[in-house]
Structure 1
Amino acid sequence: MTTLTENLPTRDYRAHARPAWRRVLLTRESAIIALLLIVVIVALASVRNFDSPLTVTYLLRDVAPILLIALPMTLIIITEEIDLSVASIVGLSSVMTGLLTQAGLPFPVAAVVAILVGTVAGAFNGFLVTVVGLPSLAVTIGTLALFRGIAVGLLGTTAITEFPEEWTDLAKANIPGTPIPVIIVPFAVLAIVFAVMLHFTPFGRSLYAIGLNKEAAQFSGIDVGRTKFLLFVMSGAMSGFAGVYFTLLYSNARGDNATGMELQIIAAVLLGGVSIFGGRGALHGVIAGVLLIGTLGSALRLAGVTSDIINVITGVLLIVSVVSASVLAWLHRRRVAAVGRRKGRRSAAAASTNP
Structure 2
Amino acid sequence: MAVDTAPVAGNAAPPQARAPRRQFTLPGGSVISTFLVLFLVIASFSVEGFASTRNAGFLLLDVVAVALIALPLTLIVVTGEIDLSVASVVGLSSAVMGKLWFAGLSLQTIIPLCLVLGAVLGAVNGLLVTRLGLPSLAVTIGTLALYRGLAFVVLGDQAVADFPREWTRWAIGSIGGTGIPNAVLPLLVLIAVTAVLLHATPIGRSLYAMGNSEDAARFSGIDVGRTKLWLFVAAGVVSALGGVFWTLRYGSARADNASGLELQVIAAILLGGVSIFGGSGGLLGVLAGALLLASVRNALQLVNVPSDVLNIVTGVLLIVAVVAPQVAAGVRTRTRARPR
TM-score, with structure 1 as normaliser: 0.86
Report the counterpart of residue 70 of structure 1 in structure 2. Answer: 70
What is the CA–CA distance in structure 2 between the aligned matches of 1:203 and 1:335, rounded to whole Å?
36
Q: CA deviation at 1:106?
A: 1.6
* Segment of structure 1 superposing worse, 97-106 or 112-121: 97-106
The verdict on how the C-alpha distance between 1:176 and 1:18 changes in structure 2, with shifts beyond 3 A counting, is farther
Q: Deviations over 1:149-194 (max 9, x none)?
A: 1110011111111111111111111011210100000100000000
Q: CA deviation at 1:307?
A: 2.3
Residue correspondence of structure 1 range 121-132 to structure 2 within 5 A:
121-132=121-132
State the one-letter code of the partner of 2:137. Answer: L
Q: Deviations over 1:63-111 (max 9, x none)?
A: 2111100001111111110001000100111111111222222211101
Report the counterpart of residue 98 of structure 1 in structure 2. Answer: 98
Report the counterpart of residue 107 of structure 1 in structure 2. Answer: 107
Report the counterpart of residue 289 of structure 2 in structure 1. Answer: 289
Report the counterpart of residue 181 of structure 2 in structure 1. Answer: 181
Report the counterpart of residue 266 of structure 1 in structure 2. Answer: 266
What is the CA–CA distance in structure 2 between the aligned matches of 1:80 and 1:103, rounded to whole Å?
41
What's the secondary structure of 1:160's corresponding residue? coil
What is the CA–CA distance in structure 2 between the aligned matches of 1:156 and 1:76, rounded to whole Å?
31
What is the CA–CA distance in structure 2 between the aligned matches of 1:224 and 1:64, rounded to whole Å?
30
The verdict on how the C-alpha distance between 1:110 and 1:18 changes in structure 2, with shifts beyond 3 A counting, is farther
Q: Which runs of 5+ in 1 are unaligned?
A: 1-16, 343-355
Report the counterpart of residue 309 of structure 2 in structure 1. Answer: 309
Q: CA deviation at 1:318?
A: 2.4
What is the CA–CA distance in structure 2 between the aligned matches of 1:338 and 1:43, rounded to whole Å?
40
Report the counterpart of residue 237 of structure 2 in structure 1. Answer: 237
State the one-letter code of the partner of 2:219. Answer: F
State the one-letter code of the partner of 2:81. Answer: E
Q: Deviations over 1:34-66 (max 9, x none)?
A: 111111101111111112111011111122111
What is the CA–CA distance in structure 2 between the aligned matches of 1:38 and 1:335, rounded to whole Å?
28
**Contact 2:293–2:314, Cα closer than 8 Å, also in 1:** yes
State the one-letter code of the partner of 1:190. Answer: L
What is the CA–CA distance in structure 1 between the aligned matches of 2:315 and 2:222, rounded to whole Å?
36
Q: Deviations over 1:253-308 (max 9, x none)?
A: 11111111111111111111110011011101000001101001111111222223
Report the counterpart of residue 55 of structure 1 in structure 2. Answer: 55
The verdict on how the C-alpha distance between 1:236 and 1:54 changes in structure 2, with shifts beyond 3 A counting, is same
Q: Does 1:223 align with 2:223?
A: yes
What is the CA–CA distance in structure 1 between the aligned matches of 2:143 and 2:69, rounded to whole Å?
17
The verdict on how the C-alpha distance between 1:337 and 1:229 changes in structure 2, with shifts beyond 3 A counting, is farther
Report the counterpart of residue 345 of structure 1 in structure 2. Answer: none
What is the CA–CA distance in structure 2 between the aligned matches of 1:285 and 1:311, rounded to whole Å?
22
Report the counterpart of residue 159 of structure 2 in structure 1. Answer: 159
Identical aligned residues as a percent: 53
Q: CA deviation at 1:321?
A: 2.4
The verdict on how the C-alpha distance between 1:225 and 1:63 changes in structure 2, with shifts beyond 3 A counting, is same
* Segment of structure 1 superposing worse, 220-229 or 309-318: 309-318
The verdict on how the C-alpha distance between 1:163 and 1:331 changes in structure 2, with shifts beyond 3 A counting, is same
What's the secondary structure of 1:31's corresponding residue? helix
What is the CA–CA distance in structure 2 between the aligned matches of 1:45 and 1:233, rounded to whole Å?
43
Report the counterpart of residue 6 of structure 1 in structure 2. Answer: none
What is the CA–CA distance in structure 2 between the aligned matches of 1:308 and 1:272, rounded to whole Å?
24
What is the CA–CA distance in structure 2 between the aligned matches of 1:98 and 1:118, rounded to whole Å?
15
* Segment of structure 1 superposing worse, 330-339 or 107-116: 330-339
Q: CA deviation at 1:329?
A: 2.1
What is the CA–CA distance in structure 1 between the aligned matches of 2:224 and 2:330, rounded to whole Å?
28
What's the secondary structure of 2:270's corresponding residue? helix
State the one-letter code of the partner of 2:47. Answer: V
Q: Give the helix-richer structure, 1 or 2.
A: 1
TM-score, with structure 2 as normaliser: 0.90
What is the CA–CA distance in structure 2 between the aligned matches of 1:105 and 1:294, rounded to whole Å?
34
Report the counterpart of residue 190 of structure 2 in structure 1. Answer: 190
State the one-letter code of the partner of 2:227. Answer: T
Report the counterpart of residue 171 of structure 2 in structure 1. Answer: 171
What is the CA–CA distance in structure 1 between the aligned matches of 2:21 and 2:162, rounded to whole Å?
58
The verdict on how the C-alpha distance between 1:18 and 1:295 changes in structure 2, with shifts beyond 3 A counting, is farther
Q: CA deviation at 1:332?
A: 3.6
